[in-house]
Amino acid sequence: MNLSYKYRLYPSEKDKKVLEKNLDLCRQVYNHFLEKLNKKDETPSRYELQKQLPKLKKKWTELKQVHSKVLQMVLKQLYDNLKSLSEQKRNGYKVGKLRCKGEEWFKTIEYNQSGFKLKRTENRLDKLRLSKIGKIPIQLHRELEEEAKGVIIKRNNTGEWYAIFQTEQETEKQNSVNSDDVEAVGIDLGIQNFIVDSDSNRVEHPKNVEKAEEQLKKAQRNLSRKEKGSNNHKKQRKRVAKLHEQVKNRRMDFLHKLSNAYVNKYDRIVLEDLNISSMVQGKMNSKNTLDSGWRKFIQLLLYKAESAGIEVVLVDPKDTSKKCSQCGVKTNKPLWQREHSCPSCGYKTDRDYNAAQNILEKSLGEGRAKVTPVETEASTDTNFRDVSASFVIETGSPFLTSEVS
Provide the residue range defining the domain that includes 21: 2-168
Please count the structural domains in the chain.
Answer: 2
Task: Over range 83-88, report the average pLDDT.
Answer: 88
Q: Are 189 and 335 in the same domain? A: yes
Q: Are 70 and 107 in the same domain? A: yes
Residue 402 has pLDDT above 50, yes or no: yes
Q: Are 55 and 127 in the same domain? A: yes
pLDDT in tens, 223-270: 999 998 899 999 999 999 999 999 999 999 999 999 999 999 999 999
Secondary structure in 3-state letters for the chain: CEEEEEEEECCCHHHHHHHHHHHHHHHHHHHHHHHHHHCCCCCCCHHHHHCCHHHHHHHCHHHHHCCHHHHHHHHHHHHHHHHHHHHHHHCCCCCCCCCCCCHHHCCEEEEECCCEEEECCCCCCEEEEECCCEEEEEECCCCCCCCEEEEEEEECCCCCEEEEEEEECCCCCCCCCCCCCCCEEEEEECCCEEEEECCCEEEECCCHHHHHHHHHHHHHHHHHHCCCCCHHHHHHHHHHHHHHHHHHHHHHHHHHHHHHHHHHHCCEEEEECCCHHHHCCCCCCHHHHHHHCHHHHHHHHHHHHHHHCCEEEEECCCCCCCECCCCCCECCCCCCCCEEECCCCCCEEEHHHHHHHHHHHHHHCCCCCCCCHHHCCCCCCCCCEEECHHHHHHHCHHHHHCCCC
Residue 386 has pLDDT above 60, yes or no: yes
Q: Are 239 and 387 in the same domain? A: yes
pLDDT confidence of residue 372: 37
pLDDT in tens, 308-327: 888 999 998 888 888 898 88
Structural domain ending residue among the three candidates 143, 168, 193? 168
Q: Are 218 and 245 in the same domain? A: yes
Q: Are 368 and 245 in the same domain? A: yes
Q: Are 244 and 379 in the same domain? A: yes
